[in-house]
Structure 1
Amino acid sequence: MNNARIALVTGANQGLGRALAEGLAARLDPADLVLLTGRDPRRVADAAGEVAAAPGTRSRVEGRVLDVAHAENIAALAAELRESHGGVDILISNATTRLLPEHSQSAMADEYIDVANTATHTILRTFGPLLREGGRLLVVASSLGTLGHLPERLHPLFDNATLDQVEYAVESWRAAIHAKTAEEAGWPRWLNIPSKVAQVAAVRAVAAERRERDLATGTLIASVCPGMVDTATSRPWFSDYRQAQTPAEAARAVLDLALTPGVDPEQYGELIRFGEVVPWHSGTPLAEQDLLLTP
């Protein structure tokens, strides 16, 4: 069995994902392996080569082409890591689809949901069993992912839900968007609110099933909010960037969570922001204009 640690970051060509891969490569040991993944072969190869050659890099770095919108691609990579390494030690699910305020949210719904939600469900189901003792499985979400950001009538869909129930709720939301009944049903028009709530709910669902075993072995499953990050994906949504972090700055707290030994039971399965738990039931429904000000 290979005892080197295996770390995997999705959506790692640029922005926060690349900063997470760089941070892992700088903080892991020379025998360890960081897999930098993305869906464009050239960009993956270029990014992996640059991270591997960076002065601060200590571990091995390799690129893998992974389009998380396709479940079979996730399954194939999982099978490769099972066969070659026996599992994975750190997985940071970071892939996202860029939304712009001027674009139709409904027209982007399928692509956005496939990458942010369907892929999250697949990663949790596929890589959860491969997570080795003491490992970390972190899903990058947002402070918008707390239940209070949805209208109260939608809360039962996600509160104390199983992963199957979360998936059913997401597909019901998707169907309502296509049927043009989503707003009538109470779903916010802005995709990132239901999507982030569903991501956090999915993590909570899987963590609830594994909690006792994982805490006994120092294994952590959680969702994380990196705060406001100055990237091409987030910049169009904010009117004031004076408090924004660089991707490298935003990656630090996530990396600390991924690499610090031991697990705080109060953090297990929760949404973590800068090392603190964001309460699941917190938040209030937001007006559309508020989204331009919320990290």
Structure 2
Amino acid sequence: MNGIAIVAGGSAALARDLRGAMAEVHPVDACDGAAVEALAGRLGGGVDAVVVAGAEADPAAPPAAQVRGFVAANNHGTHRMITAFGPLLNDGGRFVVVAGPAGRLRHLPARLRPRFDVSRLTLPGLAAVLDDYVAAVEAGRAAAAGWPAWIEVACRVGQVAAVKIMARDLPPGRGVAANAACPGTADVLWLAAPGNAVPNGELVRNRVILPF
């Protein structure tokens, strides 16, 4: 019997060709809160895998013109999916967020890293950090606060932090794993059969765990 997989993101994720996947696939736009809640309510449980993709930044566009939508898609969308579908995962389930190698604390200055302390941070607290970041970019204050010029960095660090928070709070003994993946690695993680040794709460690229 095929499992149930949720694929979330913007238009790029929804357009992904998943024919042949050994699962009953349900695409959903992570930015659409009503759609996410409706799908979660309709399924009620029994989810085997969730893959969350999102938007890509436009290098040609000013950061202030795109940061709000970018964070809404990649960060708030991820939080929405964790909250809605994390509790619905079967034993041995997989939750994968497509992030990128920019999602490492080393890409932030030392003074900003404590804001992503995943040992104590909650998802609402993380959302507040990212909302503050958006406000700083839009107001032209981000550079003075130490934020990198490229908006991918804060966003991807936030995605990896969200996965680490989810993994930290997973109930033990169920074999559920939550990870972030660089593009091209997500399928390896979400297709891993239950019982196989997989990382949990990590950023993975080409089967290698990248330090946060």
State whether TM-score is above 0.5: yes
Q: Sort the Cα spacing of 1:14 and 1:263 in 2 relative to 1 into closer, same or farther, 3 A.
A: same
- Residue 74 (structure 1) aligned with residue 33 (structure 2): no
Confirm or deny: 8 A CA contact 1:8 1:91 kept in the other structure: yes
Structure 2 counterparts to residues 136-285 of structure 1, below 5 A? 136-160=94-118, 161-210=121-170, 213=172, 216-226=173-183, 250=184, 253-261=185-193, 262-264=195-197, 267-280=199-212
Q: Sort the Cα spacing of 1:71 and 1:146 in 2 relative to 1 into closer, same or farther, 3 A.
A: same
Cα deviation, 1:225-259, whole Å, max 9, x if unaligned, reads 12xxxxxxxxxxxxxxxxxxxxxxx3xx4223212
Confirm or deny: 8 A CA contact 2:68 2:134 kept in the other structure: yes
Alpha-carbon separation, structure 2, partners of 1:68 and 1:119: 5
Cα deviation, 1:36-62, whole Å, max 9, x if unaligned, reads x3xxxxxxxxxxxxxxxxxxxxxxxxx
Secondary structure of 1:187 counterpart: coil
Cα deviation, 1:157-189, whole Å, max 9, x if unaligned, reads 002222222112111111212322111111112
Structure with the larger RCO, 1 or 2 (CA within 8 Å, 6+ apart): 2
Confirm or deny: 8 A CA contact 2:10 2:29 kept in the other structure: no
Q: 1:18, CA displacement in angstroms?
A: 1.7
Q: 1:260, CA displacement in angstroms?
A: 2.1
Alpha-carbon separation, structure 1, partners of 2:14 and 2:33: 23
Percent identical pairs in the alignment equals: 34
Alpha-carbon separation, structure 1, partners of 2:3 and 2:74: 26
Q: 1:207, CA displacement in angstroms?
A: 0.7
Q: 1:12, CA displacement in angstroms?
A: 7.7
Confirm or deny: 8 A CA contact 2:7 2:50 kept in the other structure: yes
The structure that has the greater radius of gyration is: 1
Q: Sort the Cα spacing of 1:111 and 1:90 in 2 relative to 1 into closer, same or farther, 3 A.
A: same
Normalized per residue, which structure has more helix?
1
Q: 1:68, CA displacement in angstroms?
A: 2.0
Alpha-carbon separation, structure 2, partners of 1:192 and 1:115: 12
Alpha-carbon separation, structure 1, partners of 2:116 and 2:125: 8
Alpha-carbon separation, structure 2, partners of 1:120 and 1:12: 11
**Structure 1 spans left out of the alignment, 5+ residues:** 38-65, 227-249, 281-295
Normalized per residue, which structure has more strand?
2
Using the size of structure 2 for normalisation, the TM-score is: 0.89
User: Following superposition, which runs of at least 4 residues in structure 1 exceed 4 angstroms of deviation?
Assistant: 12-17
- Residue 94 (structure 1) aligned with residue 53 (structure 2): yes
- AA at the equivalent of 1:273: R
Q: Sort the Cα spacing of 1:13 and 1:122 in 2 relative to 1 into closer, same or farther, 3 A.
A: closer
Alpha-carbon separation, structure 2, partners of 1:14 and 1:124: 20
Could you say which residue in structure 1 is the equivalent of 2:66?
108
What do you get for the CA RMSD once the two structures are aligned?
Answer: 2.1
Q: 1:272, CA displacement in angstroms?
A: 1.1
Secondary structure of 2:65 counterpart: helix
Alpha-carbon separation, structure 1, partners of 2:73 and 2:109: 24
Q: Sort the Cα spacing of 1:276 and 1:205 in 2 relative to 1 into closer, same or farther, 3 A.
A: same
Could you say which residue in structure 1 is the equivalent of 2:3?
5
1:131 to 68, 85, 89: 89
- AA at the equivalent of 1:264: A
- Residue 34 (structure 1) aligned with residue 32 (structure 2): no
**Structure 2 spans left out of the alignment, 5+ residues:** none
Confirm or deny: 8 A CA contact 1:9 1:17 kept in the other structure: no
